[in-house]
A and B are shown apart, each in its own frame.
Chain A
Amino acid sequence: MQAFIALLALSAIVFATSRATGDPLNLLLPIDATPEQYERAARALGLDQPLPVQYGLFLQDAATGDLGTSLRSGEGVVPLLQKRLGASLLLGGAAMLLTLAVGIPLGVVAATRRGTRLDGLIKVVALLGQSMPSFWVGILLIQVFAVWLRWVPAGTNRGLTSIILPAITMALFGIAGITRLVRSSMLEILDSDFIQLARAKGLPERLVIWRHALSNSLLPVASFGGLYFVTLLSFAIVVEVVFAWPGLGSLAYTAILNRDFPVIQGVALLTGAIAIAVSLLIDVIYMLLDPRIRHAGA
């Protein structure tokens, strides 16, 4: 229910901002168009109605799965979104996997080797990762690995290898954040009584750290994970533009440049819906990870 209200609020905001981006007819029609031509085009596109009516129509259509057609290409927005969503999910999924697969172990290692050179090195890398703009990382990676070393193709969609550089670019920021989070929450957990007990019981250190300590320190990671995911969605736009990745981000970018209302609305609604869905998912993961909540619910 709350998610539904959030979606409704989202649609209103999206509608308002996209209508504020200026009159699309000025872009669509030639400069010397007569007032009659202007009026006819406005009526054909429903732009002559008062704004609340336009919003009502927009909601009604959206509920039935019709988000209009692109003012530029005349293509339906829903098919357009479907076509682009796959590419974005693929890239986002790869980046998310990479973030977790690299970030969590790095954080654990940094915490267990606290104060060593390795810890220092990981800290520096994490700090750098959070300080580099992702568009620049992307350009640097293209420069080094595609232009100088020629290890991967520079263009897009030349097989599986073309996803490597954009995924790394997107993951870097998240890896830096997750590493720092896991490190600080592991340090707290490693000091606690139950870890002392596990050690006193004679459990092997490897099991103590990777099973008992890690599973408990993932709780704060899950709650901050939601925020990181949203940041990831954000930087996805930039990364997709840099690598000309045919996903939602580059679709949004060109739609905004062209003032293509229906497409902007579609992308904004879909991304917002994804963000809301993810925050719900995070709540569920949180419950699964925390035995206190898990058992209370059962």
Chain B
Amino acid sequence: MPAPDRQRPGRGLRRRLRGLPIASIATLVVLLACALAPEAIAPHDPLMTNLSARLTPPAPLSGNWTYVLGTDDVGRDILSRIIHGARVSLLLAAISLLVGAAIGTTVGLVAGYSGGRRDAVLMRITDLTLSYPVILLALLLAVALGPQTSNVVIAIAFILWARFARVVRGEALLIKQQPYIDAARVTGASSPRIVLEHVLPNLLNIILVLASLQLGWVILIEASLSFLGAGVPPPAPAWGSMTALGRDYVVTAWWVPTVPGVAIMLSVLSLNLIGDWLRDRLDPRLHGAAG
């Protein structure tokens, strides 16, 4: 991690990019490449078993460079499974984030702009959702709707929207009091039009920052769900279920649970660092608002 250099004065683009988390962005680029074209990057088929090479340790220990990060209990290449798992994790996280952000922003805008009883009711529902243990709810939903990829998205989005609704509502409330909103109302603009043309554009920065701060958290939840067996159904490679499988090999083959965990940690860490940087650049007021 590059140490942030806060003292040196810079100019123009260089100043704007000061403290840019280069290592994190590089990690994210690698992840994205893995998610977009896992077939081109992975050295092996992630589902192909090779019983004669089962539980091979990582290359530096075994000297077997066919399987760089070792193999699991049925001889599947761990590196290839991690690379394919990136697609599962990132895709699921991105889609659920999009859905959750869209719903949450809508609810937040409606509540914040209309105020009154509608606001009170919507915020009560939001608080109720927020005060409920995420994983229990997601487990209920994931099992209720069956072990399907789309259901993981529904479960995560169902929890995520409330986080957006709360922040967006607070900001919408502030913007509503600005003189330019009154001006728009005086000129006869309808409420939906004011919200879409004047309130929403002023909130995009905050929504972007919030989304980037939540992304790491969403990946953690998705991994936890697949660890508990309520994520993407096997044999598809998901980081959480790979770690779960490795639980049985803690004593005999430590790399089986360890390697997927490192993949999760590096991704979440990079996303968190990028999110922090974005927040400092775009909206210092959100400091500490990531739950």
Contact = CB atoms under 8 A, between A and B. Distances in A.
Given A227-B291, A256-B140, A275 B132 contact: yes
A127 B272 contact: yes
A262 to B, nearest CB: 14
A9 B127 CA distance: 12
Given A231-B291, A238-B227, A139 B140 contact: no
Contact of A20 (B145, B244, B258, B264): B145
Interface in A113-135: 120, 124, 127-128, 130-135
Please tell me the size bucket of the interface on B.
35 or more
Interface stretch (B66-74, B103-111, B175-183, B245-253): B245-253
A21 B143 contact: yes
Contacts of A6: 124, 127-128, 131
A153 interface: no
A184 B250 contact: no
Given A21-B143, A185-B288, A224-B288, A131 B272 contact: yes
Interface string B225-252: 0011110000000001001101100110
A120 B1 CA distance: 11
A209 to B, nearest CB: 20
A256 B139 contact: yes
B224 A135 contact: yes
A131 to B, nearest CB: 4
B135 A139 contact: no
Given A20-B144, A128-B269, A279-B131, A142 B250 contact: yes
Contact of A131 (B141, B227, B268): B268
A136 B265 contact: yes
B272 A133 contact: no
B228 A253 contact: yes
Contacts of B272: 127, 130-131
Contacts of B136: 233-234, 237, 252, 267-268, 271
A181 B140 contact: no
B55 to A, nearest CB: 15
A21 B141 CA distance: 8
Contacts of B250: 139, 142-143, 147
B116 to A, nearest CB: 17
Given A127-B273, A238-B228, A253-B228, A276 B135 contact: no
A201 B136 CA distance: 52
B46 interface: no
Contacts of B224: 133-135, 235, 238
Interface in A1-44: 2, 5-6, 9-10, 14, 17-18, 20-22
A106 to B, nearest CB: 15
Nearest to B260: A136
A147 B240 CA distance: 22
B69 to A, nearest CB: 16
Which of B132, B134, B141, B240 is packed against the most chain A CB atoms within 10 Å? B132
B145 to A, nearest CB: 7
Which of A14, A131, A220, A233 is packed against the most chain B CB atoms within 10 Å? A131
16 contacts: A10-B132, A20-B145, A21-B140, A131-B216, A133-B268, A136-B257, A139-B246, A139-B257, A140-B261, A143-B258, A180-B288, A234-B136, A238-B224, A252-B139, A275-B131, A279-B127
Interface of B: 1, 3, 124, 127-128, 130-137, 139-141, 143-146, 216, 220, 223-224, 227-230, 240, 243-244, 246-247, 250-251, 254, 257-258, 260-261, 264-266, 268-269, 272-273, 287-288, 291
Given A128-B269, A133-B240, 13 more contacts: A131-B265, A131-B266, A131-B269, A133-B224, A133-B243, A134-B224, A226-B131, A227-B130, A233-B136, A234-B134, A235-B224, A238-B228, A267-B136
Which 6 A-B pairs rank lowest in CB-CB distance, beginning with the nearest? A136-B261, A131-B269, A131-B268, A227-B291, A20-B144, A233-B133
